[in-house]
């Protein structure tokens, strides 16, 4: 099967969306399919045509930017050429160019699938409000042309202003792909020694430095946590320098990073075995995100695979890893006192939150995600589609595990 994946930013850009598409594309290629990624050449030093892990990458030059969006005059002709060769067109939203590609699929009679990763919520300015409305119109047009729309959880699907319109029509639920490289004990220990973590309770957060990630909520919570755990420290992994569109946010947080620099450490991007070593050295992971630009938090599953509980904001979708597994705590959005209380609760008894890491890994494996997409692609090619958005069996298995553990302890069952 020839599959065209279309998104604005692809690797080496780091975000949850790009990592999702990279993992899915590699898994599809491993299973023998011809995968091409159409994306932007957001950095002019990147190759126009590339081959990464069996996936062909076509990058379109950027003429100029509008907020975080990119304008690519040659995108349309290239999309038309690639769409003609594809069996399936798979779009990843939010994306300004999506309706044009979806329309091409409709004209060519090619099945079009959208995966909707998040709502777009830019900082509140008059210009950004205009951008928000334009992108929403573009997304709705793409949705009308698409044959199926995928999201990670029914929870987010029913709360998203965009996705809720497609419930019972063309919405499909597929678990996101999660991978974690092998990490030998000596690598985990070397990471621990490098960052001098012995004797410390270690709180992790992994994200790029962006306003919607709620980093300031953790910064405000940390002094409260340290009242009970004086040696508690934070490791923040992810890019934090020169993030496009986040310059003002970084400047606002800079004094707090300086104030807490002895126990709040910025590590920049981490990948490969070092990422697994990062998780293995955590006592707790936090997802203090503030809005629906975060819809799941793949890092929660990565942490849970390493036996690390999560504290997550009560955002639709974001709360689901904890809700499904019972492996953590859910807090009100933006509440630093509740975040501190939840962290303290986990640090007091981490083992009470731990679950079957193998079952969690199986539920979110990249190969299983690819299989689910391939079934959907095949159904669309043959005129079959179940529009009832059935709950994935993997999610039911996780809830059964949660209920069994909580029932044996006499705990109440969540969600």
Give the architecture (CATH level 2) of 185-359: 3-Layer(aba) Sandwich (3.40)
What pLDDT score was predicted for residue 405? Answer: 83
User: Residues 313-331: what's their mean pLDDT?
Assistant: 96
Question: Is 69 a residue whose pLDDT tops 90?
Answer: no
Over residues 8-19, the pLDDT tens digits come to 999 998 888 999
Give CA separation, 294 vs 15, 213, 325, 333, in Å. Answer: 11, 8, 19, 12
Q: pLDDT tier at 408 (50, 70, 90 boundaries)? A: low
84-119 tens-digit pLDDT:
999 999 999 988 889 999 999 999 999 999 999 987
Map out the domains of the chain as residue ranges. Answer: 2-177+366-384, 185-359
CB neighbours of residue 66 within 10 Å: 12
CATH C-level class of 2-177+366-384: alpha beta
Domains 2-177+366-384 and 185-359 share a fold: yes
pLDDT score at 409: 59
Instruction: Work out whether strand 55-61 and strand 49-52 pair parallel, antiparallel, or are unpaired.
Output: antiparallel
Answer yes or no: is pLDDT of 390 > 80: no
Please state, for a pLDDT cut of 70, what percent of the chain lies above it: 93
Q: Are strands 34-41 and 49-52 parallel, antiparallel or unpaired?
A: unpaired
Burial 15-47 (b: 16+ CB within 10 A, else e): bbbbbbbbbbbbbbbeeebbbbbbbbbbeeebe
**Closest by Cα among 309, 302, 301, 312 to 283:** 309
Using the predicted structure, report yes or no on whether residue 391 has a pLDDT greater than 90: no
Q: 159: closest CA among 331, 294, 325, 343?
A: 294
Contact residues for 315 (Cβ-Cβ < 8 A; gap 6+): 289, 291, 292, 294, 295, 333
Confidence at residue 389, expressed as pLDDT on a 0 to 100 scale: 62
Query: Any idea which of 52-66, 189-203, 336-350, 398-412 has the lowest mean pLDDT?
Result: 398-412
Per-residue pLDDT at 7 exceeds 90 = yes
Instruction: Decide which of 393 and 29 is more confident.
Output: 29
Distance CA 162, CA 148 (A): 14
Q: What is the pLDDT of residue 134?
A: 76
Mean model confidence pLDDT for the chain = 91
- Per DSSP, the three-state class of 270 is coil
Most confident segment among 14-18, 243-247, 392-396: 392-396
Dist. CA 402–CA 399, nearest whole Å: 5
Could you report the per-residue pLDDT of 342-354, keeping only the tens digit for each? 999 999 999 999 9
Tell me, yes or no, if the pTM score tops 0.85: yes
Determine the average pLDDT of the residues in 281-299.
92
Mean pLDDT of 126-141: 76
Mean pLDDT over residues 284-290, rounded?
96
Q: State the pLDDT confidence band at 406, using cuts at 50, 70 and 90.
A: confident
d(CA 232, CA 344): 10
Cα–Cα distance, 146 to 169 (Å, whole number): 11
Q: How much is the pLDDT for 122?
A: 57
d(CA 373, CA 52): 21
CA–CA separation, 341 and 337 (whole Å): 6
Provide the pLDDT for residue 413.
40
Q: How would you list the strands of the sheet with 264-268, edge to edge?
A: 264-268, 233-237, 202-206, 284-287, 310-313, 328-331
- Is the pLDDT score of 414 beyond 50? no
Sequence-separated (6 or more) residues with CB below 8 Å from residue 256: 216, 219
Average pLDDT, stretch 366-385?
92
Asked whether the predicted pLDDT for residue 289 surpasses 50, the reply is: yes
Q: How far apart, in whole angstroms, are the C-alpha atoms of residue 353 and residue 64?
A: 48
CA atoms within 13 Å, Cβ hemisphere of 399: 11
Distant-in-sequence, close-in-space partners of 254: CB < 8 Å, separation ≥ 6: none
Is residue 227 within 8 A of residue 349, CB to CB? The reply is no
């Amino acid at each position: 099967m020839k599959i065209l994946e279309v998104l604005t930013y692809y690797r080496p850009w780091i975000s949850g969306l790009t990592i999702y598409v990279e993992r899915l594309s590699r898994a599809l290629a491993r299973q023998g399919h011809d995968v091409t990624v159409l994306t932007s050449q957001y950095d002019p030093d990147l190759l126009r045509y590339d081959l990464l892990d069996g996936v062909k990458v076509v990058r379109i030059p950027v003429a100029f930017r509008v907020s975080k969006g990119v304008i690519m005059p040659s995108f349309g002709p290239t999309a038309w050429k690639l769409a003609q060769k594809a069996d399936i067109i798979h779009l990843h939203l939010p994306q300004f160019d999506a309706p044009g590609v979806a329309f091409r699929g409709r004209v060519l009679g090619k099945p079009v699938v959208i995966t909707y990763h998040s709502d777009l919520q830019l900082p509140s300015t008059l210009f950004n409000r205009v951008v928000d409305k334009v992108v929403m119109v573009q997304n709705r047009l793409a949705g009308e042309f698409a044959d199926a729309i995928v999201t990670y959880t029914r929870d987010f699907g029913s709360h998203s202003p965009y996705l809720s319109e497609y419930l019972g029509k063309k919405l499909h639920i597929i678990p996101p792909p999660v991978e974690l490289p092998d990490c030998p004990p000596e690598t985990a220990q070397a990471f621990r020694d490098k960052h001098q973590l012995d004797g410390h309770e270690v709180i992790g957060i992994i994200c790029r430095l962006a306003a919607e990630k709620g980093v300031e909520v953790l910064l405000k919570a940390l002094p409260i946590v340290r009242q009970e755990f004086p040696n508690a420290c934070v490791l923040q992994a992810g890019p934090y320098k020169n993030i496009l569109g986040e310059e003002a946010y970084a400047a606002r947080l800079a004094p707090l990073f300086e104030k807490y620099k002895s126990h709040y450490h910025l590590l920049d991007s981490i990948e490969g075995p070092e990422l697994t070593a990062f998780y293995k050295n955590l006592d707790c992971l936090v997802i203090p995100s503030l809005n629906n630009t975060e819809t799941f938090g793949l890092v929660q599953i990565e942490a849970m695979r390493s036996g690390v509980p999560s504290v997550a904001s009560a955002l639709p979708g974001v709360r689901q890893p904890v809700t499904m597994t019972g492996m953590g705590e859910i807090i009100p959005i933006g509440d630093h006192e509740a975040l501190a209380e939840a962290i303290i609760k986990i640090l007091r008894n981490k083992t009470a939150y731990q679950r079957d890491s193998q079952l969690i890994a199986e539920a979110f494996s990249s190969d299983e995600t690819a299989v689910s997409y391939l079934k959907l692609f095949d159904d669309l090619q043959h005129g079959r589609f179940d529009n009832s958005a059935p709950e994935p069996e993997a999610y039911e298995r996780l809830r059964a595990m949660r209920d069994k553990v909580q029932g044996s302890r006499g705990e109440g069952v969540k969600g």
